[in-house]
Chain A
């Protein structure tokens, strides 16, 4: 069974850093494209980072230079390093697996990040 479990969210001060994790099971992480999507309180879904199976990364403009997506194949875990955090980064952060037609076919339960 495919499972994605995020962890590492919490309260961080403006200007601070945080690394959140997404532990994958039921599949091999580096055989798939993986994504990070966030959702601010009461708002919609926003895609912002992707890593391909060959390690290429892409970011939404607001994430470039501050956020870094990476993975540990031995741990089968996806990471998101977030630096220079701002109040507007407050959101639930979801990891998701890329599937057919480049859709996001499996999602984690999300981890909440509060910048205050």
Chain B
């Protein structure tokens, strides 16, 4: 099974900060890495597919990069509506989620 390890598990940041979340896969997964945002009490929403392709309607302050085993989600300037949990997911072999990163207000 492919394991995904996200770091950090949580972070505190100010509005306007640049935020970076990393996701490491236990084996190479090409670019089959997706990112989701989940707000409390709500279903997840898809942000990025194929490691770096922004879903329609997702603000351009979100970006993704990486290939192989190491991936990054970056929020260039954190907005109030971005405080949420973020999950990476691999879709290379079956499907696995990372454990999540909670982004909180500092």
- Interface of A with B (CB < 8 Å)? 35, 37, 44-47, 50, 58, 60, 94, 99-105, 107-110
- Interface of B with A (CB < 8 Å)? 31-32, 34, 36, 38, 42-46, 49-50, 53, 55, 85, 87, 89, 91, 94-100
- A104 contacts which of B46, B98, B99, B100 (Cβ < 8 Å)? B46
Q: Given that A44-B87, A45-B87, A101-B91 are known contacts, is A107 also in contact with B96, CB under 8 Å in the complex?
A: no
- B55 contacts which of A35, A46, A105, A108 (Cβ < 8 Å)? A105
B43 touches A103 (CB 8 A): no
The total number of A-B Cβ pairs within 8 Å is: 64
Can you report 30 A-B residue pairs in the complex whose CB atoms are below 8 A from each other? Answer: A44-B87, A44-B98, A44-B99, A44-B100, A45-B100, A47-B89, A47-B95, A50-B94, A50-B95, A58-B94, A99-B49, A100-B50, A100-B53, A101-B32, A101-B34, A101-B49, A101-B50, A101-B53, A102-B32, A103-B34, A103-B46, A103-B49, A103-B89, A104-B36, A104-B44, A105-B49, A105-B55, A107-B43, A107-B45, A110-B43
Given contacts A44-B100, A101-B34, A104-B44, 15 further A-B contacts (CB under 8 A): A35-B95, A45-B36, A45-B44, A45-B87, A47-B89, A94-B44, A99-B49, A100-B50, A101-B32, A101-B49, A101-B50, A103-B34, A104-B89, A107-B43, A107-B44
